Amino acid sequence: MTLLYSEVEEELRAAVRGLLADRCPPAAVLKRVESDPYDLDLWKTLAGEIGVAGLLIPEQYGGAGASAREAAVVLEELGRGVTPVPFFTSAVLATHALLATGSADLLGELAEGRTTAALVVSFAASPYRPWRGSSVNLDGGTLSGTVSAVAGAEVADVLLVPVGGELYAVEAADAAVEVIPSLDLTRPVATVRIVGAPARLLGPCDLAEVLRFGAGLLASEQLGVAEWCLDTTLAYVKERHQFARPIGSFQAIKHRLADLWLDVVRARAAARAAAGDDSAVTVAVAQAWNAGVAVHAAEEALQLHGGIGMTWEHPLHLYLKRAKACETALGTPGDHREALASLADVPGPEGGQQ
């Protein structure tokens, strides 16, 4: 396993980055977040033409048969752009859950980008508490219940609902999806209510495993967010003059950015490790580190931009909101550190003697 990027991965990155620069720069994202956050035209191009929707789907189902490493590179770019497309929710989380069921027809539709799916699970759940925010029951072939803080449900054609150890499909039209005002403007969450909806059994679902897989790849999106914050701040402090000097020539600022760079360097290594190995330790390490680095990068970016960083017109707040929401998504850094106590054999005190 390598922690570097392959040539194929770099080509994929260039294709995605080029398209995003052309179609959906941060200013364009900002313009649409209050009315219609998701850019589904862009998603169609990304999914269909560049083929990102089928990256994780084997060729036998019409996908690209790529690995998590390629999906991770796409996530880095989408994080860099806070791009409002349902790649993570449909092509990563829902697709990974679906793969375990071997539902060929649905996988085929997802691979083509014709259908978008969402896994009906709270974004605040974690591999350690997968059912947080979910209460759905099966009753005679229909599903009923509520799941809070679901990401990507409002743009999904089909909802994949885990119940017990099984995964069910519910048509979006048969559920009530209510988007709530969300901290993350570019990936809002919704309350999903299902009342006696007809459900199709797809197969087995190990929800904790699905969430762990997602958490590992989310680290790459967090890396992208942090990279944009660092790069944008570097450009700004070279440009912005006070006291007749670029503010980036003051050591007080240079040293903060050197430290931030070092955090990002380590986030890149952690993200690459988790993209190549979704074992519990590697994922927990990547989440425990990268979630915090993304938030810290956005916070540093805001402070070092001064007043302009506090305004709605500058896109920086989109990154801060994404980073802060992602800190909670699929387990907080604290949840992942706590998990490492047993995963890495660093057990806590018994009874807490002093």
Partner 1 sequence: MNEADIKHRIDAFRGANDPENRLEFLRARFDAGLAWVWFPEGLGGLGVSRELQQVVERELADTPQLNTGVQGIGLGMAAPTILAFGTDEQRRRFLRPLWTGEEIWCQLFSEPGAGSDLATLATKAVRDGDEWVVDGQKVWTSGAHHSRWAILVTRTDPDVPKHRGMTYFICDMHAPGVEVRPLRQITGEAEFNEVFLTGVRLSDDLRLGEVGDGWRVAQTTLMNERVAIGGAPVRRGGGMIGPVLDTWHEHPELRTHDLHQRLLSLWVESEVTRLSGVRLREQLVAGQPGPEGSGMKLSFAKLNQALSGLDVELKRDLGYDDWTFRRSEDVDFYGRGAGYRYLRAKGNSIEGGTSEILRNIISERVLGLPSEPRVDKDVPWKDLPR
Between CA 184 and CA 33 the distance in angstroms is: 10
**341 near partner 1 (CB under 8 A):** yes
Binding mask 217-236 toward partner 1 (x if CB under 8 A, else -) reads -----------------x--
Kindly tell me which residue out of 237, 295, 316, 323 binds partner 1, with binding defined by CB under 8 A.
237
Interface with partner 1, residue 40, by CB under 8 A: no
Do 195 and 144 contact (CB within 8 A), yes or no?
A: yes
Out of 2, 7, 140, 181, the only residue in the binding site for partner 1 (CB under 8 A) is 2
Shortest reach from residue 297's CB to partner 1, in Å: 13
Residues 277-336 that bind partner 1 (CB under 8 A): 285, 288-289
Measured distance CA(147)–CA(351) in Å, rounded: 36
Q: How many residues does the chain have?
A: 354
Q: How far is the CB of 124 from partner 1 (least distance, A)?
A: 21
Q: Is the dihedral of CA 80, 35, 90, 182 positive or negative?
A: positive
Interacting residue with partner 1 among 35, 105, 140, 346 (CB under 8 A): 346
Instruction: Name the minimum Å distance from CB 282 to partner 1.
Output: 9
d(CA 79, CA 85) in angstroms, rounded, equals: 11
Q: How far is the CB of 324 from partner 1 (least distance, A)?
A: 19
**Complex with partner 1: residue 31 or 254, whichever CB lies closer:** 254
Q: Confirm or reject binding of residue 212 to partner 1 (CB under 8 A).
A: no
Helix or strand (DSSP H, E) at 209: helix 207-239
With CB under 8 A, what is the number of residues at the site for partner 1?
Answer: 45
Would you call 190 helix, strand, or coil by DSSP? strand
Across the strands, what pairs with 166?
163, 204
Interacting residues of 138 by C-beta distance below 8 A, sequence separation 6+: 163, 164, 168, 199
* Interatomic CA distance for residues 239 and 246, integer angstroms: 6
Residue 18 CA to residue 69 CA, distance in Å, equals 19
Q: Tell me if 354 contacts partner 1 by CB under 8 A.
A: yes
The number of C-alpha atoms within 13 Å of 338 and in the hemisphere containing its C-beta is 9
Do 321 and 183 form a contact (C-beta atoms < 8 A)? yes
- Using the rule CB under 8 A, which residue among 36, 105, 181, 251 binds partner 1? 251
Among 62, 102, 108, 246, contact with partner 1 (rule: CB under 8 A): 246
Site for partner 1 in 185-204 (CB under 8 A): none
What is the contact surface with partner 1 in residues (CB under 8 A)?
Answer: 2-4, 234, 237-238, 245-246, 248-251, 253-255, 257-259, 261-262, 265-270, 272-273, 285, 288-289, 337-338, 340-341, 344-350, 352-354
